[in-house]
Amino acid sequence: MSDFTNSFWPWFISAITFFGIVGCALLLWVTNKTKVSATSDNSTGHVWDEDLREMNNPLPRWWVWMFIITIVFSIAYLAFYPGMGSYKGSFGWSQVSQYEAEVAKANEQVEPLYAKFLAMAPEEVAADEQAMGIGSRLFLNNCAQCHGSDAKGSKGFPNLTDADWLYGGTPEAIKTTLDNGRNGMMPPMAAAVGSEEDVLNVAHYVLSLSSSQHDAARAALGQEKFMACAACHGPDGKGNQMIGAPNLTDDIWLHGAGEKNIVAMINNGKMNQMPAQAGKLTDAQIHVLTSYVWSLSN
């Protein structure tokens, strides 16, 4: 309930919960006190289809006590656990705390298994069949949603099986990426490049760097304007792994190849985020996962 941004909703839910329980108790009390005058045949006098009679038998005692127990249980539950709006309950229980406790318990149980891998170099771990089996599972559970189960990525998500690395492909660089995540930003460059024609010319110059299909005349005109991009991608277009600037000469396109995609990138820029895994995985798990990711391209 803590994610509510308006105080009305906790009160609204509390009111529904409270009056629901009180209403059930009141209904039970009224039903128990209300007596229907019985006829000589112990019916209420209501008859349907000539011979279907509503009898005047009391509620079974077990049914009444089950109703009472349910009401008492509801009140006790709401006292101990969250359920009344923003009230957290006297036990202080939450889904997050239970999840974290279960994860901590599981990590403690598998810690001896990971200990031997933590003492090994990533290259040695990558050669261990058991470690790679564990690394594969870690990858499928934590990375495949973006990079794909085969780690070959898709548009906007890097391929981890080739030799093209935005921030470097050494085990150290991969571990840093996993630990801290990455925030990549390509700012809109249209204003710095110039007119729409200049943008188009630069796009063709970028295509020429990887020998992709391009207009040679436009590429020649765009070479000088490309200097606005050289601060990140370098004057030769080979990028800069220190800041995650892609190599434009290898014909590998993270956000799509061709004139249209490159013009859109120059005009609009792009922001990408790789989430940090340090708070989600243990150091030993990240070590094994680093070795697994490194092995995909080695």
Q: Could you read off the pLDDT of 99-120 as tens digits, one per residue?
A: 889 988 988 888 888 889 999 9
Q: Running DSSP on this structure, what letter comes out for residue 227? A: G
State the DSSP H helix or E strand holding residue 206, giving kind and residue range, or none if neither: helix 196-209
> How many domains does the structure of the chain reveal?
3
Query: In terms of domains, do 106 and 131 share one?
Result: yes
Query: In terms of domains, do 285 and 167 share one?
Result: yes
In a domain, 260, yes or no: yes
Q: Where are any strands of DSSP class E within the chain? A: 43-48, 52-55, 182-186, 270-274
Q: Would you state the pLDDT for residue 191?
A: 95
Query: In terms of domains, do 166 and 140 share one?
Result: yes
Please give the residue range of the domain that contains residue 167. Answer: 100-181+275-296
Pure H helices in 34-157: 61-80, 95-118, 122-126, 129-142, 144-147
Query: In terms of domains, do 149 and 281 share one?
Result: yes
Q: What's phi and psi for 275, nearest 5 deg?
A: -65, 145
Distance CA 32, CA 29 (A): 5
Distance CA 223, CA 292 (A): 40
Under 8 Å between Cβ of 227 and 214: no
**Number of neighbours of residue 27 by Cβ within 10 angstroms:** 11
Q: Could you read off the pLDDT of 52-93 as tens digits, one per residue?
A: 888 877 778 898 899 999 999 999 999 999 888 778 889 989
Instruction: List the Cα angle 297/153/295 in 5-degree steps.
Output: 20
In a domain, 92, yes or no: no
Given a cut of 50, the residues of the chain with pLDDT beneath it are 1
